[in-house]
Amino acid sequence: MLQLLKNIVGLGQTTDFKALVKNGAQIIDVRTTGEFQGGHIKGAINIPLQNLSGNLSKIRKDKPVITCCASGMRSASAKSILKSGGFTEVYNGGGWMSLQNKI
């Protein structure tokens, strides 16, 4: 059951986030502006989840995208929004603090 939940939110497969970033992946932090200002991954772009659909043009479609938030739930939603918006290479990075340790 836990593995099924991990697969649903995009955490089931092992992703080499370090290699993705090295190859130009964009990190999209979908937390609120206040949360982002309290700490974030260097170079991450802050687009709060509720504003993501209206700001897809700020994200390059020709580069991989890694979404992150506080725990991984909003970033899973963000991944779905991006996929629906035509982005093909999207990864749920989960919580920004744990993602930071993986890159």
Q: Which CATH architecture has domain 2-102?
A: 3-Layer(aba) Sandwich (3.40)
pLDDT band at 69 (very low <50, low <70, confident <90, very high): very high
List helix spans (H) across 13-95: 17-22, 33-37, 49-52, 73-84
> In percent, how much of the chain has pLDDT > 70?
87
Among positive and negative, which fits the CA dihedral 66, 72, 78, 79?
positive
Give the per-residue pLDDT at 25.
96
d(CA 47, CA 44): 10
